[in-house]
A and B are shown apart, each in its own frame.
Chain A
Amino acid sequence: MTEEVNIPGYDIPPEMEGQVTITALDKIYNWSRRNSIWPMMFGLACCGIEMICAATSRYDFSRFGMEVMRPSPRQSDLMIVSGTVTKKMIPQIVRLYNQMPEPKYVLAMGACASGGGPFKEGYSVVDGVDKFIPVDVYVPGCPPTPQALIHGLITLQKKIDKQSIKNVRWYSKDPVEPIPIPLLGPDLMDPRDYALIKQYGTEKLAEDQQVPAAEEA
């Protein structure tokens, strides 16, 4: 363990090796976080099955300290968005994301979560979960193999290694604003887009009224 977190350049007396470590706060903070990521037990679609596969004996992601899958967002650090995100489901996903305590990460698993995938053209599919919540790691594939998922998780660990306690989001002075929860109207509505939706509605109405008028003339 000590070799992993030691900072090179400091000599530790041989009799103390293995008992004493000299390191930076950032390093030990990140080291402990990256080795105990608790993912949320949250399968959306096909990719969820491969996520379970990654937990079973052949792939076994508990080797990375990630086997503790939590069904509650309040106890988890990582949301693996494993599958197609539909318009009916996205309010719940945003709500779950808001409920997760900081520090939190999102991994978009598979083509659907990353960008809509094969179902992108469909009327009730959100074309990528990153339209609503920030994504840290994208894992391509339809579905990604468990190996690919594990690679994605290792990538996330590398990302955590590079973070610094000085400028992380969750220690900033201002509280982190929750993401506004989209609503189900005639179509999915993002509260951040209200002005745009209103403008679009008025323009479309004018256009619709113009067409019959032109036809009559």
Chain B
Amino acid sequence: MSEEVLVEEKTELEERFPEISRDDRKGYEGFIVPTEKLVEFASVLRDEFGYDFLSSVTGVDYLPEDRMEVVYHAYQTTGGPGLFYKVQVDRDDPVVPSLTPVFPGANLQEREAWDLMGIRFEDHPNLKRVLLWEGFEGHPLRKDWREPFYEGDGKPFKSRWPGGEVIRAEDSNPFNKNVDYPGGFDPEQWTPANETAVYAGVGRLDHAVSETALSNDQIIVNLGPQHPSTHGVFRMVVRLEGETVVALEPVMGYLHRNHEKIGERNTYLMNIPFTDRLDYFNSMSNNFGYVLAVEKLMGVKPPERAEYIRVMMAELTRIVNHLTAIGFLLNDLGAFFTPLLYAFKERELILDIFEAVSGSRMMCNYYRFAGVARDLPEGVFEQVKNLVLHRLSGQVDDLDTFLTDNEIVRARTMGIGVLTAEEAIAHSAVGPVLRASGVPYDVRRADPYGIYDRFEFDVAVRYHGDIYDRYLIRLDEIRQSIRILEQVIQDIPDGPIQEGKPQYQVRVPAGEAYGRVEGPKGELGFYVVSNGKPNPWRYHVRAPSFINLSALDVMCKNYKIADVVSILGSIDIVLGETDR
């Protein structure tokens, strides 16, 4: 979309809503919407202006100005740049109308904002903590909240080496552990919060003995957090009628590692290795999203060769991810481990390349602002070339031959876990889940970043929205990735891999930026707010696995409990990213 259309659109919006104002702080963009107009504004934007895809909802705590802000990033599924809007509320009593009735995809994100920042969303159907547990003291992402091992507001901490001696964080805590309790707290008087809150999401079961209760077949089943098919420490509370799923509620937070709080203490550069650990299958594309967001703020661009290397690594990691996703899906379907062995065989070869360029197999920490960490070592380019031109497509065809027409695979996956296109968009589903439902939305094509506008590739799309299509689309995408890689191999130029001198401490001007990439699991966004200091003021990750889960309930309803496992496998979540 051209700039003019955007400007026109914006004026039109302003005429429609005279109450809204442009966000004219330096480095900021978008509109500031009054709270009472928010729901109307969002629905008009969706229905009349075509911004039907609510990518991200997050809160920012502006402590010095004593207010909270909720930021919404909206996009059109037909492509083009986004439109950002914000509401500002009082910090002491932040209440914002919930957008869940308009965009069901806001559900989990609003719960997260309540959990971590204490912003209350009115009319939210199920507003309770999502990453932490009910009863936790305080809202940790507020700027004045301090954790038990608090050492300072920004790194590097001075306190660790006073007088040249290392002080362990445990020694400064009376319990020798990472815990803290409010004043006057008496554990013996305290009653443990029971699981009622968790079960409330799937509806209450009437346990009183009555005739209706006895004739009722419904039971509540917990899957996880320790369950071999949940891909980590994920938990699902399922309400069953016989074997059929009536309601399902995802319960997460078992791997909540304070990514965002730590990210606000870290300097910009220090965050890159932390992003590796978000989606630990694809550290390369996580790096990519984060450096894009910070580069937007800094206003720099990497040199040509670095751009090509970035695309090369991002596509290789996509192949790794899709292969393992298929392997794990087949695991869940009962083909225990054999397909996964095939997938891991190729994964090892690609990880060898990652190890050669970055020094680590999984946690690559390879991208830098305006460049990459180091050039391809000798021989690696040939390795990539061999793999891409002579090996990978054959291996994918092998998987295709063995699995696609397999009778059991077809019987277990076709027509199961259907998500329609409308539902997928409304739930902000992204990546293969969205495209398998018939929406050809790929950030690489819709809003190109890096040099993706130069490559010839098709946006893979399938139309049934069931598990089988989500499996097929991953095969399609691997083939497209191979196509992109072939072009990269052909065109990659020589030259520097870093713009300017590599720096430990980058200067990031004040402002906000939202960088997003099409990660293998879907749109991965990083929302970074800078106030000119060495540390980001706010650092938020829009995690595809997390937001895709808001559609899990819709996908699983009216299918059998055995299908829940394979439906979850077909979404391909990774808990490091879901819980952050």
| A binding-site residues for B, Cβ under 8 Å | 41-46, 48-50, 52-53, 56-58, 71, 83-84, 86-89, 92, 96, 116, 118-127, 131, 142-143, 145, 183-190, 193-194, 196-198, 200-202, 204-208
Q: In the complex the two chains form, is A186's CB within 8 Å of B257's CB?
A: no
Q: In the complex the two chains form, is B169's CB within 8 Å of A186's CB?
A: no
20 A-B contacts, Cβ less than 8 Å apart?
Answer: A44-B232, A45-B257, A49-B281, A53-B348, A56-B348, A57-B341, A57-B345, A58-B344, A58-B345, A86-B253, A86-B257, A88-B256, A122-B147, A122-B178, A122-B257, A122-B258, A125-B257, A197-B185, A198-B187, A201-B184
On chain B, the residues within 8 Å of A49 by CB distance are 280-281, 362
Segment 175-190 of B: residues with Cβ below 8 Å from A: 175-188, 190
| B binding-site residues for A, Cβ under 8 Å | 131-133, 135-137, 140, 147-151, 169-170, 174-188, 190, 192-193, 225-228, 232-233, 253-258, 261-262, 265, 273-274, 277, 280-281, 340-341, 344-345, 348, 361-363, 575-576
Query: In the complex, A206 Cα to B187 Cα: how many Å?
Result: 17
Contact check: which of A56, A119, A189 meets B341 at CB < 8 Å?
A56
Pairs A-B, 10 closest by C-beta atoms: A122-B258, A205-B184, A123-B147, A186-B137, A205-B183, A204-B183, A46-B280, A201-B185, A71-B228, A56-B344
On chain B, the residues within 8 Å of A56 by CB distance are 340-341, 344-345, 348
Query: In the complex, A214 Cα to B150 Cα: how many Å?
Result: 25
Chain B residue at minimal CB-CB distance from A46: B280
Q: In the complex the two chains form, is B178's CB within 8 Å of A125's CB?
A: yes
Q: In the complex the two chains form, is A131's CB within 8 Å of B226's CB?
A: no
Contact check: which of A48, A145, A187, A204 meets B184 at CB < 8 Å?
A204
Name, among A50, A86, A121, A197, the residue most crowded by chain B CB atoms within 10 Å (CB to CB). A121
Query: In the complex, A193 Cα to B147 Cα: how many Å?
Result: 19
On chain A, the residues within 8 Å of B177 by CB distance are 126-127, 131, 188, 190
Shortest beta-carbon distance from B334 to chain A in Å: 14
In addition to A86-B255, A194-B187, 17 A-B residue pairs with Cβ atoms within 8 Å of each other are A41-B228, A42-B226, A45-B233, A48-B232, A87-B178, A87-B179, A118-B277, A119-B262, A121-B262, A126-B178, A127-B178, A187-B137, A187-B181, A197-B181, A200-B175, A201-B181, A208-B183
Q: Given known contacts A43-B232, A96-B226, is B178 in contact with A184 (CB within 8 Å)?
A: no
Shortest beta-carbon distance from A42 to chain B in Å: 6
Q: Given known contacts A53-B344, A201-B181, is B228 in contact with A122 (CB within 8 Å)?
A: no
Interface secondary structure of B, over-half rule: loop
Query: In the complex, A2 Cα to B95 Cα: how many Å?
Result: 74
Q: In the complex the two chains form, is B363's CB within 8 Å of A197's CB?
A: no
Chain B residue at minimal CB-CB distance from A95: B226
Query: In the complex, A183 Cα to B265 Cα: how many Å?
Result: 29
On chain B, the residues within 8 Å of A120 by CB distance are 149, 169, 178
Q: In the complex the two chains form, is A194's CB within 8 Å of B147's CB?
A: no
Name, among A46, A89, A96, the residue most crowded by chain B CB atoms within 10 Å (CB to CB). A46
Q: In the complex the two chains form, is A201's CB within 8 Å of B232's CB?
A: no
Q: Given known contacts A88-B253, A131-B177, A143-B362, is B344 in contact with A124 (CB within 8 Å)?
A: no
Shortest beta-carbon distance from A198 to chain B in Å: 5
Q: In the complex the two chains form, is A121's CB within 8 Å of B151's CB?
A: yes
Contact check: which of A86, A118, A187, A196 meets B273 at CB < 8 Å?
A118
On chain B, the residues within 8 Å of A92 by CB distance are 225-226, 254
On chain B, the residues within 8 Å of A184 by CB distance are 133, 135-136, 192-193
Chain B residue at minimal CB-CB distance from A53: B344
Query: In the complex, A91 Cα to B297 Cα: how many Å?
Result: 42
Q: In the complex the two chains form, is B169's CB within 8 Å of A124's CB?
A: no
Q: In the complex the two chains form, is A44's CB within 8 Å of B255's CB?
A: yes
On chain B, the residues within 8 Å of A208 by CB distance are 183
Q: Given known contacts A142-B363, A143-B363, A186-B185, is B344 in contact with A57 (CB within 8 Å)?
A: yes
Query: In the complex, A21 Cα to B238 Cα: how many Å?
Result: 56
Q: In the complex the two chains form, is B227's CB within 8 Å of A86's CB?
A: no
Chain A residue at minimal CB-CB distance from B151: A121
Chain A residue at minimal CB-CB distance from B182: A186
Chain B residue at minimal CB-CB distance from A203: B183
Query: In the complex, A178 Cα to B417 Cα: how many Å?
Result: 42
Shortest beta-carbon distance from B98 to chain A in Å: 25
Q: In the complex the two chains form, is A187's CB within 8 Å of B188's CB?
A: no
On chain A, the residues within 8 Å of B256 by CB distance are 86, 88, 124
Shortest beta-carbon distance from B160 to chain A in Å: 11
Q: In the complex the two chains form, is A125's CB within 8 Å of B258's CB?
A: yes
Q: In the complex the two chains form, is B255's CB within 8 Å of A83's CB?
A: yes
Name, among B183, B226, B341, B363, the residue most crowded by chain A CB atoms within 10 Å (CB to CB). B226
Contact check: which of B180, B265, B344, B361 meets A187 at CB < 8 Å?
B180
Q: Given known contacts A92-B226, A204-B182, is B233 in contact with A185 (CB within 8 Å)?
A: no
Query: In the complex, A58 Cα to B228 Cα: how many Å?
Result: 22
Shortest beta-carbon distance from B258 to chain A in Å: 3
Q: In the complex the two chains form, is A183's CB within 8 Å of B255's CB?
A: no
Chain A residue at minimal CB-CB distance from B192: A183
Name, among A52, A58, A127, A207, the residue most crowded by chain B CB atoms within 10 Å (CB to CB). A127
